[in-house]
Structure 1
Amino acid sequence: MSAGGRTAASVEVRYTPTAADFREARAAWDRHTAAGRRARRGRYTIAACPAVLSALLGAAGWAGPLPGVLMLGALLLLLAPPRLQLRRVTRLAADKGEFRVLVDDYGVVVENEDSVTELGWPEQRYHLETPGLLLLLGGSEETGVLTMLPKRGIEDVRRLEELIDRHATALVPE
């Protein structure tokens, strides 16, 4: 991995992303960031419209299949977008092969077969921890950009957590 002349103490993470990683990251993002909570509320609101219409039609005595079709539509509107997004992101990541991430006092370098991305700590101000991941979030709590660090790819998790804590603020649920 090219460190670009970096001399500070660093931690390297190597992993191949899985669908489970992305699912866990998305769930944490949805729960712990303002943007994630807004997106989740939006999905619930959109799905509620056909569900309410279905209930109103049923209460009005509508005997046709429309109320059932509307309920099925509401369920699809709630479940399909996150699953389709997960599938798309997993496919894109699979094409990039193994990810190598170097975390040090200067920031984060993410390298894969296609690219190298360097992010300073001002660009990764926040972090989240889940049972299987450490997540770094960009610029503000409103952002949807994150760097995923699966714990399975880390030899010294405690050292990485200490390094991240020195430079990024932990997000706590509201």
Structure 2
Amino acid sequence: MRYAEAEGVHLDPVLIVLAVVLTVVVIVALSVALTFARRSRLRRALEAAGIDEPTVLGYWSRLNTVPFLADPRGVPGRGVDVAVAATTQGIHLWALMRRRLTDFGLISWSAIVSIDGVRKTVGVGVETKGGVITIRTEQPVTPYAKTIELFPIGQTSAVAAERLRAADPRPIP
């Protein structure tokens, strides 16, 4: 600021603060708009495919959760929105990959050991607000890994896990 004033230009500190605040607001608004658009595309793709089972939307993060596929090649670098649908046969996971709805296949209820909503810390010990949905199987079911962790969207992990477990036709132990 001293250099600008030495050249005869007067910079108002209020305008500088306003410019910084507007820049932050634009960046945050853009990221929220892009996230909303991505999730809307997934919902529209599910509707177009006729998927109306009890569905939970989640987010898989490459940085904060274990890979949900045994071979994660081809999965976007930062993460992906995932739809988990529970039927009487088991659960399906779908994701919008390369603008197409990809069905990763069925995990039958007989292979599922547990579906839980648990707390999760990320980064340097920061606890996530809604926790994670954890789906565990006895053995890896192709193409899935043995443990699947997803951050629920729009609900807590406990509510999302209960919604998925409600479709399980096996008797409650």
Q: Which has the higher strand share?
A: 2
Where on the TM-score scale, by shorter chain, does this alignment land: which range?
Answer: 0.3 to 0.5
Higher radius of gyration, 1 or 2? 2
Normalised by the length of structure 2, the TM-score is 0.41
> Higher relative CO (CA 8 A, sep ≥ 6), structure 1 or 2?
1
Normalised by the length of structure 1, the TM-score is 0.41
